[in-house]
Amino acid sequence: MTFSFSKTLKSTLLLILLLIFTNISKSSLDYTTLIYKGCGKQLSDPNNIYSQSLTTLTTTLIQQSSRSKFYKTTTGGPQSSISGLYQCRGDLNNNDCYNCVSKLPQISQNLCGKVVAARIQLLGCYMLYEVSGFPEISGMQMLFKQCSSTNVAGSGFEMRRDTALQVMQNGLVSGNGYSSTTYQGVYVLGQCQGDLGSSDCGLCVKSAVEKAQVECGSSLAGQVYLYKCFASYGYFPNGVPAKSEGYSSSGGGYSSGSGQNTGKTVAIIVGGTAVVGFIVIMALFIRGLKKKDDDF
């Protein structure tokens, strides 16, 4: 009786382990998790003129996201003009792009409320809007950076990372403003805003790469978002999972600050360690059950 119960318990635990591992992996790689938010000042809109224009704008952006990975437009009259855009990562298909972009307006509303400008960056897409007359921002301005707390100075990692970053930059022209590559376990990714020319794109990503190298130093992972491009890198010795670059986040944008939901993004390296630790614990537990069965 005990032997049969133990066998059943082992099978159940293995099934639970598989389900938990699958859910952790999916949540860690979710391209709709938040990287950062940027919120402008509160919008004075007593007659809801701008609110109507913003609703029209976001509806148009969502509709377009099922057909293209980048779209920019302006809505509203002379007194209520709002310009905005969205962009999806180059490796997302149209369906994933739509699913990502369709979440942005509600997230913006929850985190920023009614403001004169907002920028919401998810792992797989971002959206921004600005009312007419909002101060122009340089494409090279840094909005957000994140560096891993794990430092590997003296290990030769920086040389591998820098080689991978250079290969990524070289691929931007042929990749239409998007490029990713892996070199000796280092995964890098870069992307420019869709309306940026190839020359300006190259300069923008070069600036982002240089800032990542300086700001993050020997950190095992890092990402830098400028106004019109971004670059990120991470070390994945066992292979790169799909949609992988994501690190815990807060702040960034027009007036930086962490929101209630800004800590959602789970670092792959940290998440992977948790999964491995859980597997080891479960394996030892099952091993203990087997030993009891053998003794029985």
Domain positions in the chain: 33-137, 149-246, 266-296
**Distance, C-alpha 29 to centroid of its chain:** 9
**Distance, C-alpha 196 to centroid of its chain:** 21
Beta strands, E only, the chain: 34-39, 70-75, 82-88, 117-122, 125-131, 142-147, 178-183, 186-192, 221-226, 229-235
Rounded to two decimals, the pTM is 0.72
Q: What is the pLDDT along the chain (296 residues), one digit of tens a residue?
A: 443 445 555 554 444 444 443 343 333 458 888 999 999 998 888 788 888 999 999 999 999 999 999 999 999 888 889 999 999 999 999 999 999 999 999 999 999 998 999 999 999 999 999 998 888 788 789 999 999 998 887 788 999 999 999 999 999 888 889 999 999 999 999 999 999 999 999 999 999 999 999 999 999 999 999 999 999 999 887 766 555 444 333 332 333 333 322 222 222 222 333 334 444 444 444 455 444 444 43
CB 151 within 8 A of CB 217: yes
- For 293, residues 6+ apart whose C-beta sits below 8 A from its C-beta are 3, 6, 7
Handedness of CA 258, 262, 268, 274 (dihedral sign): positive
The CATH code for residues 149-246 is 3.30.430.20
Residue 151: DSSP 8-state:
B
Nearest to 108 by CA among 28, 51, 45: 51
The CATH code for residues 33-137 is 3.30.430.20
